[in-house]
Amino acid sequence: MDKRGIGGGVAVRYIFCIFALKNYFVIMEELEHKSLPARFEVKAEDGKMMHICAYGAGIGNVDRVGDVIVSTAFDNWLASEGKKDTQFCYQHNYEQIIGKFDYDSFRVDEQGLYFEADLIPTSWGKDTEVLINEGLLKEFSISYYPVRSHYVGDADNGGVRYLDELEIREISIVTIPANPKAKLVSAKDTGTRQEVTPKPEDWTSKTDEELEISRTAIEQEIFNRVIAKI
Q: How confident is the model at residue 210 (pLDDT cuts 50, 70, 90)?
A: low
Contact 91, 224 (CB under 8 A): yes
Section 14-36 average pLDDT:
48
137-151 pLDDT per residue, tens = 888 888 999 999 999
Task: State the pLDDT at residue 125.
Answer: 93
The letter for the amino acid at 92 is: H
Residue 173 has pLDDT above 80, yes or no: yes
Identify which of 188, 220, 172 has the alpha carbon closest to the alpha carbon of residue 56. Answer: 172
Nearest to 185 by CA among 196, 171, 200: 196
Q: Report the pLDDT value the prediction gives residue 211, as an integer from 0 to 100.
A: 66
pLDDT of residue 103: 97
Highest mean pLDDT of the ranges 8-12, 26-30, 204-208: 204-208
pLDDT above 70 covers what percent of the chain?
A: 58
Window from 123-127, 145-149, 156-160 with minimum mean pLDDT: 156-160
Average pLDDT over residues 84-89: 95
Top pLDDT among 114 and 192 is at 114
**Which among 32-46, 88-102, 190-204 has the top mean pLDDT?**
88-102
Give residue 88's pLDDT. Answer: 95
Phi, psi of 195 (to 5 degrees): -80, 135
pLDDT tops 50 at residue 32: yes
Q: Evaluate the CA torsion angle 163, 91, 156, 30 in order and state its sign.
A: negative
Mean pLDDT of the chain: 73
Q: What is the pLDDT of residue 45?
A: 57
